[in-house]
Structure 1
Amino acid sequence: MSMDCIKQRRSDWRFWLKVILTILYVLVIAALIPIMIWRLVRRDVKAHITAWFIAGIFVMLTLPIFLTGLVQHLTNYTRPDLQRHIIRILWMVPVYSLDSWLALLFPQYAIYFDTVREWYEAYVLYNFLMYLLNYLRAEYDLEKELVDQGRVKQPKPWCCIPVWPAGRVFIQRCKFGVLQYVVIRCLVTLTALITQWCGAYHKGRIKYDDAFVYLSIITAISQATAIHSLLYFYKATKHMLKPIKPLTKFVCVKAIVFFAIWQSIVISLILKIKVIKDSPVWKHYSIDNVQTGIQDMLICIEMLVIAIVHYYVFSHKPYVNPEAAQVPCLTSCLKMLDVRDVGTDMREQVYIIQTSAMSKLHKITSAKSRSHDEENSDKETVQDETQNNENMSLLQSSIDKDQAVTTNTYASFVNTEQSGQR
């Protein structure tokens, strides 16, 4: 079979895949719009339904842009080691959009939808770091390059932290800094669910006896650590990453992840200090419902902009290669959904931490053992010296006694001789 025929077949299935997805999307929209309008024009319509309708328009505009970028990557899947992570990052747009849209429709279940969104936020940070690492490992001997480069100063505003060793240790610490956010984010969302069931968690309520405050602080610290690790890694490798234009990608990912949580905190503060006045519009809602609703609606609007930026920043064009071995579309989808690499990296980090802890414990134990041996040696030396001194004292005392006896005997002998002469 000729090369032209193979190219023609590939083009055919790619074309028909796009046509089928377009028809399906149009059918879904055609069925959904009447339902949205019907819910909006009812007499008893509430504020969250109006927000849901407005947000829905933005969601409908966002999804086609996402699907276009996704299909382009799936049909030009020539670098699985890189595109797997790019596709996972692209999925952030529909996850955020649909999650927030459903949370507006069902505000009583918003915390459950937000749990998915917050976990995926951490997952995106991990995938972005792995995308950069996989590119560098494919193009360079990364550890050697970092060692030859030497230690890199900490980025601002973390310049007071000691610099990290170059090479493998640097890579491991950057991976740990991002992976800890994945773990802590999952634990925090699970804790939020449990405290919600117990009545101790109210999103947007800033009070000392509410779990929301403390979980937000923990999340902010963990997220700052992850952002620091990414920024430090970028600073150390930016000269090697120039071909893939990492700065725009980094700003895009960082802006979404960093902005989402701080936007939530700012909205909570605004409601707390009553910059937004009480209104009859949300008299039927609690303060946490209002805070969550504003946040979700803003996210639906912002994701339209993010989808456009993603399409160009994480473009499929560098991976278009008709001569490369083409991975079937279904296979590429399955690889995208396979998250075993996360578990592998987590096990690796646990092993590194365990090995490091055991090594430090061994050093401490060895130091204590040496110190104990030195103390025992010193004690034995002191005891030996004391014993020698005692022995010398006894010997000297014996000598003194012998001398005294000899002197007395001699004196008695002299006295006896003198008496005999008389």
Structure 2
Amino acid sequence: MDNSTISEGAGDSCPTTGGLRNDGGFSQPGFHFKDLLSHPSQNWHVLGWLACLVLLLITWIVALYIVWKHLRNYYDPEIQRHKLRVLLYPPVYATLAWFSYLRYDYSTTIMFFATLFEAFAVYNLYACLQAYLKPFREEAGTIKEGVTTKVFMLFKVNLKSKWGMHYRIITDILVFQYPIWSIIDALVSVIASVKGYYCGESYNFHGAHVYLVIINFISLSIILSALFTYLAIFHEEWQRGHIKAHGMFWCVKGPIMVIFYFGEILLSVLETAHIIKGTDGTHSSDGLAWPAAAVKNGLYVILICACMCVIMFVMIKFFGPDDNINKALNQEGRLSTWQAFVDGYLSYLPEFFYNVLCCGVDSYRLARKRMELKARKKREMYATSETTGHLLSPMAQGPIEETKVEIYPPESEVYPMPKPAHQSSHYHQL
């Protein structure tokens, strides 16, 4: 039995040896740059690592350029602070993935933090869209504006008031559950890894990995449905304000969907089906046997870096400061670069937890309001039934009185018509 088979068998077992380092007996591969040109087929991992490094540098250059442009033209803090935070999502996520390529033995632990940063980017996307809608919400005031729309061209959504408290808080809950769950997911994953019950190299039901993937799939589906509905409900406002909401949405959710469905689900299925195979070390410059999980991890990181580099160029159009600059050309009050940096980044976490707390308070108010409405309806129904019952009861109707029917004579008898003159004379003669 070769080393590849031993490694793969160790990866399928659960529980494993506890610790943040991946179990399986795979040593850290060497980076033989001198042999790269002479023996490229024996150093594919070095070529992949260098390709990811080039993509990563391009991503950081583009990201820092857009961020600097925002900091120098910080006219609209309510919107630009969220754009600044979203702009760091591709380079930071790709950097963490690149480090997991360097240190495969700690790749699972490193990617916990990448997933956490991804969740914060989703939160800021939603907060940015909320900031764009704020003028329209103030314009609507307390008006109840109903709307009927279709989501995915399949599901019909009817709202009595798209500006009401009910829809806003429900959407907040559906969106905030994703970053909150990501924090819980990271904590549970770290604890399970330390205890040896994470088992991230397989879908073994004795480990936590398979259950976390299922819950992540459900959580991602919920937030996608909520945001798709959100975009459809306020379609007119996006058009009126020339807001690039759909493009902003795909800049954040597009790479998340690609990484999850293709990077995690598809590659894991290919590994489980033994389509992605390990090596026995005969074609490696250091004679190291690569398990299938390590090969999958390398492909996963390459996919992430390529996806983030592409999406960073798309963000120039949808997350750049041009619309904020044009909106504030005739306004004063531009913040300095340092003030913009503090507002955009240093106040990030306190603001996030404050908004999560406010979402919880609003959720409690909504639940209490719904309970009060239900209780009021029950009281009204009970009062109506009591009133109806009293009206139909004999005591409520009172004693039955005898009805007297009077028959009146014909009108001719009551008011006799005068007789003609000749008739009177005739009778007189008789």
* TM-score after normalising by structure 1: 0.71
CA distance in 2, matches of 1:113, 1:164: 45
2:309 matched residue in structure 1: 304
- Aligned 1:257-272 pairs, distance under 5 A: 257-263=256-262, 264-272=264-272
Specify the code of the residue in structure 2 equivalent to 1:274. H
Q: Does 1:348 align with 2:358?
A: yes
- In 1: Cα distance, 2:133 partner to 2:123 partner: 16
Distance in 1 (CA, whole Å) between partners of 2:243 and 2:162 is 23
Compute the displacement of 1:249 (Å).
Answer: 1.7
Is residue 2:295 matched to residue 1:290? Answer: yes
- 1:103 paired residue among 100, 103, 106: 100
Which region of structure 1 is more displaced relative to structure 2, 316-325 or 242-251?
316-325
Q: Tell me if 1:152 matches 2:152.
A: no
Q: Which residue of 2 aligns with 1:166?
A: 162
Which of 56, 59, 76 is the matching residue for 1:59? 56
RCO greater where, 1 or 2, for CA within 8 Å and sep 6 or more? Answer: 2
Counterpart CA distance in 1 for 2:158 and 2:333 is: 46
Q: How does 1:115-134 map to 2 (within 5 A)?
A: 115-134=112-131
Deviation digits for residues 24-83 of structure 1 (CA, Å, limit 9, x no counterpart): xxxxxxxxxxxxx98533699965444322211111222111111111111111111111
**Partner of residue 250, structure 2:** 251
| Structure 1 CA distance for aligned equivalents of residues 144 and 378 of structure 2 | 33
Shift of 1:246: 1.8
2: distance between equivalents of 1:352 and 1:38? 54
Q: CA deviation at 1:142?
A: 6.2
Q: Residues 139 and 46 (structure 1 numbering): CA distance in 2 closer, same or farther, change over 3 Å?
A: same
Code of the aligned partner of 2:119: A
Residue 294 of structure 1 deviates from its aligned partner by 1.9
1:193–1:183 distance in 2 versus 1, CA, 3 Å:
same
Partners in 2 of 1:313 and 1:370 — Cα distance?
Answer: 52
Of 208, 212, 219, the match for 2:209: 212
- Percentage of matched positions with identical amino acids: 20
- Distance in 1 (CA, whole Å) between partners of 2:224 and 2:176 is 11
Partners in 1 of 2:124 and 2:78 — Cα distance?
Answer: 11
Q: How many angstroms apart in 2 are the aligned matches of 1:89 and 1:185?
A: 17
Cα pair 1:40 1:50 within 8 Å, conserved: no
Contact 1:204 1:291 in 2 (8 A): no
Distance across 2 between alignment mates of 1:255 and 1:334:
29
Flag the 1:369–1:235 CA change in 2: closer, same or farther, 3 A.
closer
CA 1:195–1:287: 2 relative to 1, 3 Å: farther
Question: CA, structure 1 residues 166+41, in 2 after alignment: closer, same or farther (shift >3 Å)?
Answer: same
Q: Which residue in the other structure is 2:342 paired with?
A: 334
Name 2:333's counterpart in structure 1.
325
Q: Could you tell me which runs of 5 or more consecutive residues in structure 1 were left unpaired when the two chains were aligned.
A: 1-36, 372-422
Cα distance in 1 for partners of 2:90, 2:76 equals: 22
Q: What's the CA shift for 1:266?
A: 0.9
CA contact (8 A) 1:206 1:213 kept: yes
Cα distance between partner residues in 1 of 2:79 and 2:138: 17
1:212-240 CA-partner distances (Å, limit 9, x unpaired):
11101101111111111111111011211
Supply the distance in 2 between the matched residues of 1:145 and 1:246 (Cα, whole angstroms). Answer: 24
Aligned length: 336
Residues 358 and 98 of structure 1, relative CA distance in 2, 3 Å threshold: same
Does the C-alpha gap of structure 1 residues 277 and 285 become closer, same or farther in structure 2, counting only changes over 3 Å? closer
1-structure distance, mates of 2:180, 2:119: 9
- The 3-state SS of whatever aligns with 1:152 is strand
Residue of structure 1 aligned with 2:73, choices 71, 76, 84: 76
Gaps of 5+ in 2: 1-29, 382-430
SS in 1 for 2:236: coil
C-alpha separation in 2, matches of 1:100 and 1:164: 45
Deviation at 1:167, TM superposition (A): 2.5
Matched, 1:40 2:33: yes
SS state of the match for residue 347, structure 1?
helix
Relative to structure 2, which stretch is displaced further, 89-98 or 193-202?
A: 193-202
Contact map agreement 1:77 1:326 (CA 8 A) in 2:
yes
Deviating more after overlay: 353-362 vs 284-293:
353-362
Structure 2 counterpart of 1:261, one-letter code? F
Counterpart contact for 1:78–1:327, Cα < 8 Å: yes
Which structure carries more helix by proportion? 1
Amino acid at match of 1:130: A
Farther off after superposition, 256-265 or 209-218: 256-265
Equivalent-residue separation in structure 1 for 2:143 and 2:155 (angstroms): 19
Contact 2:271 2:296 (C-alpha < 8 Å) held by counterparts: yes
Report the CA distance between 1:163 and its aligned residue: 5.6
Partner SS state of residue 284, structure 1: coil
Q: Is the 8 A contact 2:199 2:209 kept in 1?
A: yes
Quote the Cα distance in structure 2 between the aligned partners of 1:369 and 1:139: 37
Q: 1:327 to 1:369 in 2, by over 3 A?
A: closer
Indicate how the Cα distance of structure 1 residues 197 and 104 shifts in structure 2: closer, same or farther if over 3 A, else same. Answer: same
Shift of 1:166: 3.1
Contact 1:40-1:53 at 8 Å conserved across structures: no
- Secondary structure of 2:151 counterpart: coil
Residue 238 (structure 1) aligns with: 235
Q: Distance in 1 between matches of 2:186 and 2:150?
A: 30
How far apart are 1:84 and its partner, in Å?
0.6
CA distance in 2, matches of 1:318, 1:156: 29
- 2:101–2:298 CA contact under 8 A, matched in 1: yes
CA offsets 1:94-146 (integer angstroms, 9 cap, x no match): 11121111111111221222112111111111111111111111344365488
Question: Match of 1:300, as an amino acid?
Answer: C
Q: What is the correspondence of 1:185-200 to structure 2 with a 5 Å cutoff? A: 185-200=182-197
Question: Is residue 119–residue 182 contact of structure 1 (8 Å, CA) maintained in 2?
Answer: yes
* 1-structure distance, mates of 2:267, 2:96: 19
- What one-letter code is carried by the residue in structure 1 that aligns with 2:295? V
Q: CA deviation at 1:204?
A: 4.3
Distance 2:226 2:114 in 1: 22
